[in-house]
């Protein structure tokens, strides 16, 4: 077969019909062609594949072995073509298609499932897959197409870096509280019951993420702006791990309503701050996207996020 030659779907359909009907006349009648046109289609197809597909046996034209093989494949190829056309037609009338979502920690635990369930109810032809991303790399993952959309975080004290090709859709703002152990002879038990001031938080052992991460930079900068230089005893990126260490009495850490759902059964003393830090959950999307599944996901995520509590005092 000539490598430059391509199978023609019309000619394949003619061969398939000839294989089913058995004669040029019957195939021509079924397809609405003249017998001469059917003969031309078969001849062109033979030139494309480089081998005879039909031969004469007496006065009857029959398929060659190669013709029988191509008829079997023609059925599959033409069925796939019909499915593709139906899918394209469906896209014109309904939102459909695959969508890969970048997630991390508390968004995977609190936002992804309800968003996917609601999206499935409203747009059953969107197929959502998720992939864990590093928060600091989420925008780059979207920019380079590794995911279609990604959850991210923005902080006043460590704003998201701008990417020309990535837009930020703001979903939900929540405030940080302080988390400490409920038991044991440590700083957590000795914390006052009222909202914590900078004086209450000074000279306490802290469990925070590393300073080179966006999260670690935001927390340290925010605490320092409030007059608190955190005394670091443990540096942990994972929020659930930090909360487990705090529950064990190894120091103070921060907690938000979304983080609390990660460790709902963990005994923790949670206290608000007089001047609380906050963070904003966002969605990172390609700036020039035209995919309706992306827009549907953004709208659904915004609706779900609107129902989340913004502070731990809201339940």
Tell me the pLDDT of the chain averaged across its residues: 87
Using CA atoms, how far residue 107 sits from 9, 114, 125, 235, 287, in Å, is 47, 10, 23, 21, 22
HSE of 55 in the Cβ direction (CA atoms, 13 Å)?
8
38 pLDDT exceeds 50?
yes
Quickly state the pLDDT bin for 264 (edges 50, 70, 90): confident
Partner residues linked to 273 by β-bridges: 196
The encoded tokens of residue 39 equal: 């003969």
CB-based contact 249:181 (threshold 8 Å): yes
Low-confidence winner among 17-21, 134-138, 172-176, 286-290 (lowest mean pLDDT) = 286-290
Closest to 276 in 3D by CA, of 107, 191, 157: 157
Please tell me the predicted confidence (pLDDT) of residue 117: 93
Instruction: State the architecture of 9-92 in CATH terms.
Output: Orthogonal Bundle (1.10)
Q: Position of tokens 């929540």?
A: 174
Burial grade of 75 (CB within 10 A; 0-12, 13-18, 19 or more):
middle
Q: What's domain 177-276's superfamily in CATH?
A: Periplasmic binding protein-like II (3.40.190.10)
Low-confidence winner among 155-164, 170-179, 248-257, 265-274 (lowest mean pLDDT) = 155-164
Write the Ramachandran bin of 203: left for phi over 0, alpha for psi from -120 to 50, otherwise beta: left
Q: Which residues of 20-30 are buried (b: 16+ CB within 10 A; e: fewer)?
A: ebeebeebbee
Instruction: Report the relative pairing of strands 125-132 and 60-63 from DSSP bridges.
Output: unpaired
CATH dotted code for 94-174+280-314: 3.40.190.10
pTM for this structure? 0.66
CA distance 84 to 107: 35
1 pLDDT exceeds 60?
no
Quick check: do 94-174+280-314 and 177-276 share a fold? yes
* Average pLDDT of span 155-184: 88
Domain range summary for the chain, segments of one domain joined by +? 9-92, 94-174+280-314, 177-276
Give me the torsion for CA of 296, 298, 300, 302, rounded to 10°: -150
């Amino acid at each position: 077969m000539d490598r430059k030659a391509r199978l023609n779907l019309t000619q394949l359909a003619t061969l398939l019909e000839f294989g089913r009907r058995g004669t040029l006349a019957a195939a021509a009648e079924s397809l609405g062609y003249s017998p001469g046109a059917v003969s031309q289609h078969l001849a062109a197809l033979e030139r494309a594949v480089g081998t005879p597909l039909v031969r004469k046996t007496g006065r009857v034209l029959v398929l060659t072995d190669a013709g029988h093989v191509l008829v079997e494949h023609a059925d599959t190829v033409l069925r796939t073509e019909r499915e593709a056309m139906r899918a394209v037609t469906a896209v014109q009338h309904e939102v459909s298609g695959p969508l890969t979502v970048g997630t991390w920690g508390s968004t995977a635990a609190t936002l992804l499932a309800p968003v996917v369930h609601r999206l499935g109810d409203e747009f059953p032809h969107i197929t959502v897959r998720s992939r864990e991303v590093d928060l600091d790399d989420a925008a780059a993952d979207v920019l380079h197409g590794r995911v279609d959309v990604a959850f991210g975080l923005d902080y006043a004290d460590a704003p998201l870096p701008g990417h020309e090709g990535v837009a930020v859709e703001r979903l939900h703002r929540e405030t940080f509280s302080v988390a400490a152990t409920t038991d044991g002879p440590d700083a957590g038990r000795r914390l006052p019951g009222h909202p914590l001031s900078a004086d209450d938080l000074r000279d306490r052992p802290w469990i925070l993420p590393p300073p080179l991460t966006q999260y670690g930079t935001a927390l340290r900068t925010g605490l320092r702006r409030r007059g608190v230089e955190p005394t670091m005893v443990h540096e942990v990126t994972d929020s659930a791990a930090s909360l487990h260490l705090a529950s064990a009495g190894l120091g103070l850490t921060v907690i938000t309503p979304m983080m609390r759902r990660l460790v709902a059964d963990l005994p923790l003393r949670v206290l608000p701050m007089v001047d609380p830090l906050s963070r904003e959950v966002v969605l990172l999307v390609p700036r020039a996207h035209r995919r309706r599944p992306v827009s549907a996901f953004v709208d659904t995520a915004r609706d779900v996020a609107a129902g989340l509590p913004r502070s731990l005092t809201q339940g």
